[in-house]
Amino acid sequence: MSRIAYVNGQYLPHREASVHVEDRGYQFADGVYEVVTIVNGKMIDEEGHLDRLWRSLGELRMDAPMDREPMKFVMREVIRQNGIYNGIIYLQVTRGVAPRDHPFPKDVRPALVMTAKRLSMKKAAKTAEQGIAVITVPDIRWTRRDIKSVSLLPNVLAKQEAKDKDAYEAFQVDDDGMVTEGSSTNAWIVDQDGKIITRPLSNDILAGITRASLIAELEKRGLEIEFRSFSVDELHNAREVFLTSSTSYVLPVVKVDDHVIGNGQPGSISLDLREIYQEFMLAAE
């Protein structure tokens, strides 16, 4: 089955999908995006992702390209036309097409693009069983990381540095030596006392939807989470390390920089949390 993309009201073959050269997303990174996981044909945390999309639009003073219910219809149609059972759907909204000028253009319709692709659940499970390596890099991003902007160049550089060093992810570190988040994930540690720790929400990090759902599931079970910043030294010496994201779920980390975490195998707490999140996904309606 050939891939189908949605571009500004049209369903098109993926290879033919395009936007105008003066789309402000292309020229200014003047846009936002979301990625929603699809498991067993169902979107996971759909409402949470759309809530965050509308928040990002509001923070950038950008109109939504359509109302929420029509957007949900288009999302389902893109998934249907692509035959996705397990995978992701990508949504991108930009301020639209206008002659290149920095100030907001007047009377311009926001542009909306959606694509979808399949992902292998078996590959994700194998990665979790083995655990991953992470490196640390300086956090050089702007100060509004809470907005899910398409302006991702610092993230791209961090992810490429991780790839160059045979690592899965790069955890970014602020000027005070504290871990903020991964280039496309939220960062967590388990300290030597077994306490689960993650950075609190602020403009310093993105409010991860998987992060929020995992927190809610843990709170239902009466499991304590400590919301605070943690240092690189704490990261290196943690009992366990893991990350969360829409496409990685809960993923154990077994090495950070040159430091082996625990015994070099995925930790029991991280694996338990992954199982809890998977149960949550499978129960999605």
**Distance between CA atoms of 217 and 213, rounded to whole angstroms?**
6
Neighbouring C-beta atoms of residue 181, cutoff 10 Å: 26
Is the distance from CB of 25 to CB of 19 less than 8 angstroms?
yes
25, 179, 3, 239: which is closest to 111 by C-alpha? 25
- Which position among 148, 163, 220, 255 bears the catalytic label? 148
Q: Assign 70 to helix, strand or coil.
A: helix
Q: Could you tell me which of 127, 124, 274, 120 has the C-alpha nearest to residue 188?
A: 274
Q: Cα separations (Å) of 164 from 158, 159, 271, 275?
A: 10, 9, 27, 30
187 vs 199: CA distance, rounded Å: 8
d(CA 172, CA 157): 11
CA 19/CA 96 separation, integer angstroms: 10
Tokens at 68, concatenated? 């929420």
Grouping H, G, I as helix, E, B as strand and the rest as coil, residue 48 is helix
DSSP string, 202-243: STTS---HHHHHHHHHHHHTT--EEE---BHHHHHT-SEEEE
Active site residue 195: no
Please list the active-site residues.
Answer: 148
